[in-house]
Amino acid sequence: MTSGKLSGKFTGTRPVKGTAHRSGTRAAKRGAARNPAANSRRGKSFFVGIDLGGTNMQIGVVDASFKLRGASRKKTRAEEGSAAVIDRLARGVQEACDEAGIATSQVAAVGIGAPGAIDPESGVVLEAVNLNWTDYKLARILSTRLRTPVFLDNDVNVAVLGEQRMGAAKGAPDVLGVWAGTGIGGGLILNGELFYGGFKTAGEIGHTILYPGAPLGERTVENLCSRTNVVHRIAALIKANHKSSLTRLADGEVEKVRSKTLGRAYAEKDALTMEVIDTAADLLGIAISNYVTVLSLPLVVLGGGLTEAIGAPFVQRVERSVRKHAFPDRCKAVKVVESKLRDNAGVFGAALIAKERR
């Protein structure tokens, strides 16, 4: 197995004079040494972390002790196009800085976690289904807009890093993070460090196959276990004359239901909602058990909107499924826990990569 470590070269993310960009950490440091503005920025003690999801974006400003000083939350609205998403990101950073009582010029660096396959060294989103982006140079584009160094990683990578440093997996050397929301994302920490693999895209559990013979759209973990699928499945069953309290809770617009409403229906013990979500949890546990079996992982952290909305029943259901299917028997001692940082896991993790990679 390759180490999966990054080379330490992060290109196209650090603005210098004009529109030029220097490539690689060493070049960036040499540029900072010759550039008074760069030297000034390296002395700043504020960092911005951005959790960019398929549905929402969360932005936070942290100080040197990683206390959250300001925050902003917006809808992603990827259907409006990448330029509109960048506009909202920039406004969100400004709003978070305003709440923190600082100028954007006091931010040393920005970290952002984005969904999908990411090349963190080049700052490129290789493929993000939820955003409809392919080979999108997010770090460079956002850096130019903010006039601040920007460092990119996968959204669940940064979330699990936040949990490993500050949350439910604090200090754990080996952990898998799985976030269930609009889609299903994953991130791996092995030997205390984020693991990327040879192609820099490790952890994409949502795109692994559960049913290879099924029709397209019904094969992968994301197809079957995400909140998006849960809602579509329930809506289809309601149209087939199954009864559900979601019809009332959603004012008849079941297809537009979000995680919180699912959580209310589950808490009310709505039979249809419980059956569909429990099935999704069982299948997610099977997928996770394969990672546990292959990598002998002792700890899994679950996060994301669906996990947070259902809470302990969802986590416990996934854990039972993981333990049932993991091999050998000693791997059945694996623990599955809920994110402690919740919504802020991605924000803190993204701020961490901004601090450590600048």
Residues 6+ apart with CB under 8 A from 134: 125, 126, 127, 128
pTM of the model: 0.86
* Ranges in the chain annotated CATH 3.30.420.40: 25-163+345-357, 171-339
Instruction: Report residue 52 as tokens.
Output: 């960019």
Residues 6+ apart with CB under 8 A from 32: 38, 39, 41, 42
Q: Which phi-psi region, left, alpha or beta, contains residue 280 (left: φ > 0; alpha: ψ -120 to 50)?
A: alpha
Q: Helices 138-146 and 82-100 sit at what angle, rounded to 10 degrees?
A: 50
| Residue 215 per-residue DSSP state | P
Question: Considering Cα of 13, then 18, then 23, then 27, what sign does the dihedral take?
Answer: negative
pLDDT the model gives residue 37: 44
pLDDT the model gives residue 334: 98
Tens of pLDDT along the chain (358 residues) come to: 445 666 555 544 554 333 333 333 333 333 233 333 444 444 578 999 999 988 899 999 999 999 999 999 999 999 999 999 999 999 999 999 999 999 999 999 999 999 989 999 999 999 998 899 999 999 999 999 999 999 999 999 999 999 999 999 999 999 999 999 989 999 999 999 999 999 999 999 999 999 999 999 999 999 999 999 999 999 999 999 999 999 999 998 999 999 999 999 999 999 999 999 999 999 999 999 999 999 999 999 999 999 999 999 999 999 999 999 999 999 999 999 999 999 899 999 999 999 999 8
Kind and range of the H or E run holding 188: strand 184-190
pLDDT the model gives residue 24: 36
pLDDT the model gives residue 28: 34
Cis peptide leading into residue 328 (ω within 30°): yes
Query: Which among 279, 268, 267 has a CA at the least distance from the CA of 234?
Result: 279
Query: Which among 270, 336, 348 has a CA at the least distance from the CA of 303?
Result: 336
> Are residues 108 and 147 in contact, defined by beta-carbon separation less than 8 angstroms?
no
pLDDT the model gives residue 57: 95
> Are residues 278 and 174 in contact, defined by beta-carbon separation less than 8 angstroms?
no
> Are residues 338 and 177 in contact, defined by beta-carbon separation less than 8 angstroms?
no
The CATH class that applies to domain 25-163+345-357 reads alpha beta
> Are residues 119 and 200 in contact, defined by beta-carbon separation less than 8 angstroms?
yes
pLDDT the model gives residue 242: 97
> Are residues 345 and 159 in contact, defined by beta-carbon separation less than 8 angstroms?
yes
- Structural fold of domain 171-339: Nucleotidyltransferase; domain 5 (3.30.420)
